[in-house]
Amino acid sequence: MVAAPRVDALNIEAPFDELLNLVIHTAHSRFPVYEGDTENIIGILLAKDLLKLQRAPELNLRALLRPATFVPESKGLNDLLREFRGNRNHLAMVIDEFGRVAGLITIEDVLEEIVGEIEDEFDVAADDGDIFALADSTWRVGGDTPIERINESFGLRLDVDNFDTIGGLISHTMGHVPKRGETHELEGLRFIVLHSKGGAVKWFKVMPTPSGA
């Protein structure tokens, strides 16, 4: 699961522009929505439903929320998969023994634990990594992209003597293989993990840090 501190949740009281900015920069399709406190999850918002507010600002965000599913940490994966299939949900909030939100888990997370890795839109074959410019002036960068290529593309001076790939460098610096949603900043750039598999980062979303430092 994605631990609670790393969950990208939306505040029901936040302005539309703030919500849209978070949706764009995290690239998730579903978000838990809270009111007042992040422990108080009141529903799930599909990113595509947020577009309805842009076309019809008079709509109430609450009316767009889907019911949130809550499951205990002790729930078995097979049971959770059956529940996902039964209620047609793709995301559930995980509750610890004290009733607090421990994190969230998706149907893809469950399936990969049961049947192995699942190929998806991020699983693009590449010999030397990839750097894609995105429409929102950010980049999607393969974790196996060579440091030399990162330096050349972004004008950086990252260590090329001890590390071969950007994923390896960031994992070493953080002290662990980062999971989806974790971020790390290097020389004025913010690297957000979009996807990781098999003990390695597959894709980063890269953008300038707010300060540019």
Query: E strands along the chain, which residues?
Result: 2-3, 10-11, 30-35, 37-46, 70-72, 91-95, 101-106, 131-133, 139-142, 183-186, 189-197, 200-208
pLDDT at 118 over 50: no
State the pLDDT at residue 213: 45
Contact 50, 64 (CB under 8 A): yes
Contact 71, 104 (CB under 8 A): no
Encode pLDDT of 137-149 as tens digits.
889 899 989 999 9
Q: Where are the alpha helices (DSSP H) in the chain?
A: 16-26, 47-55, 61-64, 77-87, 107-115, 147-154, 166-174
- Provide mean pLDDT across the span 17-42: 87
- Provide mean pLDDT across the span 157-169: 88
- Provide mean pLDDT across the span 86-96: 86
Q: Which amino acid is at 37?
A: D
**Half-sphere exposure of 140 toward its Cβ, with a 13 Å CA cutoff?**
16
| Architecture, CATH, for domain 131-208 | 2-Layer Sandwich (3.30)
State the pLDDT at residue 125: 46
Domain edges within the chain: 2-115, 131-208
| Architecture, CATH, for domain 2-115 | Roll (3.10)
- Residue 159 makes CB contacts below 8 A (sequence gap 6+) with 147, 169
- Provide mean pLDDT across the span 83-106: 87
